[in-house]
Amino acid sequence: LDKGLIVSFGEMLIDFVPTQSGVSLAESTGFLKAPGGAPANVAIAVTRLGGRAAFVGKLGDDEFGHMLAGILRENGVEDKGINFDKGARTALAFVTLRSDGDREFMFYRNPSADMLLRPDELNLELIRSAKVFHYGSISLITEPCRSAHLKAMEVAKEAGALLSYDPNLREPLWSSPEEARTQIMSIWDKAEIIKVSDVELEFLTQNKTIDDESAMSLWHPNLKLLLVTLGEKGCRYYTKGFHGSVEAFDVNAVDTTGAGDSFIGAFLSQIVDDQTVLEEEERLRKVLRFANACGAITTTKKGAIPALPSEYDALSLLKD
Ligand code: ADP
């Protein structure tokens, strides 16, 4: 039997990461290319675990864009939803974690191809075939991509897909925190599954205390499941009927990039064909243990895409 399709919508870009660790961008003498972008990472997280995924988004018709499309294809991600922009170039980011602990970012996005996806370019047939439609927030920032995002979400919903949202606030592309909050909240009540990190929960509630009350303040009537990831502390889950937490795995974390994408991709791959899991706590906890295992494995290797686990990797950690 064919597995259900997970369509992941949004950006894909290349992170240039310094070859030495702890340096500022200005100090770096060389960079490594790390393909990423949360929605693309999620699509690959799904296929690496044996699921079916498609990526919908736009790349530049340039060397980097074709390299990224190739990475999706090599990983078994369906490419019929990828558009190439004739004018604008593929998004690029220069990212470093400085020795003072701060992340420094520089973006090539003025605008980049990913922000230029138009509603009329969407592959609606592909989107209508999704069992789960997953998306982030960066595509909400400017037109025409915002309209494309809203349309894709609506078409997927009408066709019966489950809507899954990860705001992914890490990339500081908004002009202000208020703008970020407003845009995220403008689509908040559409999603049926939402995954936020503890940092995002704090940002969205503007409340420093991370507890059940602050999480539940974000609840809305269409929501079936709210997931809060807590890094090495695992995750918390909230549904209409029950809530609780699932512990993380004890691993030697070297780079947490992509852990959240791995977590949500793994989660979606396990519920796409049977959404009754969302209503049964014991089964939900089992799936979250699997997702925590996948997140943990992703932290044990550098980069996001190279560190996403296979089903064998995940089951091996679960057996230990
Ligand atoms: P995000 O990448 O969105 O900030 P987290 O860092 O919370 O998300 O990671 C997502 C999941 O990955 C966590 O819920 C956890 O299961 C796993 N994880 C992340 N960091 C670690 C860690 N240091 N040790 C073990 N598991 C981790």
Please name the residue whose Cα sits nearest to atom 5 of ligand 1.
231
CA 58 to ligand 1 centroid distance, Å: 28
Please name the residue whose Cα sits nearest to atom 22 of ligand 1.
232
Measure the CA–CA gap between 54 and 134, rounded to whole angstroms.
10
Testing ligand 1's pocket by substitution, the residue of 246, 249, 299 carrying the most ligand atoms inside 8 A of its CB is: 299
Single out the residue of 148, 150, 187 nearest to residue 166, CA to CA.
187
Tell how far CA 159 is from the center of its chain. 22
Token pair in block for residue 137 = 């927030």
- Cβ-defined contacts of 109-112 (< 8 Å, 24+): 109/173, 111/142, 112/13, 112/60, 112/88
Please name the residue whose Cα sits nearest to atom 20 of ligand 1.
231
Atom of ligand 1 nearest to the CA of 195: 3
Measure the CA–CA gap between 270 and 260, rounded to whole angstroms.
16
Strands (E), 45-99: 52-60, 82-85, 92-97
Atom of ligand 1 nearest to the CA of 249: 25
CA 234 to ligand 1 centroid distance, Å: 6
Please state, as a whole number, how many other Cβ atoms lie within 10 Å of the Cβ of residue 122: 19
pTM of the predicted structure, to 2 decimals: 0.96
CA 300 to ligand 1 centroid distance, Å: 11
CA angle, 116 then 120 then 122, to 5°: 80
Atom of ligand 1 nearest to the CA of 199: 4
Complex prediction ipTM: 0.98
Which residue in this structure is represented by tokens 């075939």?
Answer: 129
Please name the residue whose Cα sits nearest to atom 26 of ligand 1.
296
**pLDDT in single tens digits along all 320 residues of the chain:** 689 999 999 999 999 999 998 999 999 999 999 999 999 999 999 999 999 999 999 999 999 999 999 999 999 999 999 999 999 999 999 988 888 878 888 888 888 999 999 999 999 999 999 999 999 999 999 999 999 999 999 999 999 999 999 999 866 678 888 989 999 999 999 999 999 999 999 999 998 888 999 999 999 999 999 999 999 999 999 999 999 999 999 999 998 999 999 999 999 999 999 999 999 999 999 999 999 999 999 999 988 999 999 999 999 999 97
CA angle, 207 then 213 then 215, to 5°: 70
Token pair in block for residue 310 = 């296979």
What is the pLDDT at residue 171? 61
CA 100 to ligand 1 centroid distance, Å: 21
CA 41 to ligand 1 centroid distance, Å: 15
Residues with CB under 6 A from ligand 1: 197, 229-232, 234-235, 248-249, 251, 253, 256, 259-260, 263, 292, 295-296, 299
